[in-house]
Amino acid sequence: MKFAVLVFPGSNCDIDMYHAIKDELGEEVEYVWHDATDLSEFDGILVPGGFSYGDYLRCGAMANQSNVMAEVKKAAEAGKPVLGVCNGFQILTEAGLLPGALLRNKNLKFMCRTVQLKVENNNTIFTSQYEQGQIINIPIAHGEGNYFCDEETLTALKENNQIVFTYSGENPNGSLEDIAGIVNERGNVLGMMPHPERAVDALLGSSDGLALFKSIVKQWRESHVS
């Protein structure tokens, strides 16, 4: 399986994402600059965290205007897995690929620590290697991770089982309904604030994020068996 790791001016988690795919999974991966106009050679798209364009104007808003986002939308429409983490999640909401918005943390402070997540839906291409209800340890590093949406959207998220991860115990940023990660209706686009790519080896403090990437590869291989 071949992954693209998008790189915007200000991205700083692209290397972590690349390491997770190449060194931990042993899959093919390439960095792709934000002005790219063709992602057709890639099987999966990874939108990493950081501060794209310095988070000026609004987190993810300027990145959404980059050439590559038109290609990300094409990949999503084609059913390819698209994962946005932290700033990547913000970019996906700005692009309309996921509903809702990410607001300032409730305490108005940047937070960087490991939190516990609950797997609310293990029936997705991103979570099949987890148990339903499993508690996992994944780090966060954000100042604007407070997920919000209107009541109609929240109802739809619940009815369609689109809430994939919630914060367990502590809700660090005030997110609505403890939401930490959601998928689109089709289930092939995931946005989450915590960083699974920073939890792929016990040396990092947790390897609980590795199963997310393994899930993507497993699903892709199963769907491409001739």
Contacts of 65 (CB under 8 A, 6+ apart): none
For residue 49, what is the DSSP state? -
Q: Name the H helices within 56-119.
A: 67-77, 87-94
Q: CA–CA distance from 34 to each of 6, 50, 67, 95, 138 (Å)?
A: 6, 14, 6, 14, 27
The residues pairing with 76 across neighbouring beta strands, listed in sequence order, are none
Place of tokens 């980059």: 66
Greatest C-alpha distance within the chain: 52
DSSP count for the chain of H helices, then E strands: 5, 11
For residue 26, what is the DSSP state? -
Q: Which domain holds residue 169?
A: 2-223
pLDDT at 226: 55
Taking the model in full, what pTM does it have? 0.96
Tens digit of pLDDT at every position of the chain (226 positions): 999 999 999 999 999 999 999 999 999 999 999 999 999 999 999 999 999 988 887 889 999 999 999 999 999 999 999 999 999 999 999 999 999 999 999 999 999 999 999 999 999 999 999 999 999 999 999 999 999 999 999 999 999 999 999 999 899 999 999 999 999 999 999 999 999 999 999 988 999 999 999 999 999 999 887 5
Rounded Cα–Cα distance for residues 13 and 4 (Å): 13
The residues pairing with 111 across neighbouring beta strands, listed in sequence order, are 142
Domain count, the chain: 1
Catalytic residue numbers, as ranges: 86, 195, 197
Q: Are 65 and 52 in contact (CB under 8 A)?
A: no
For residue 198, the domain's CATH number is 3.40.50.880
Q: Are 134 and 215 in contact (CB under 8 A)?
A: no
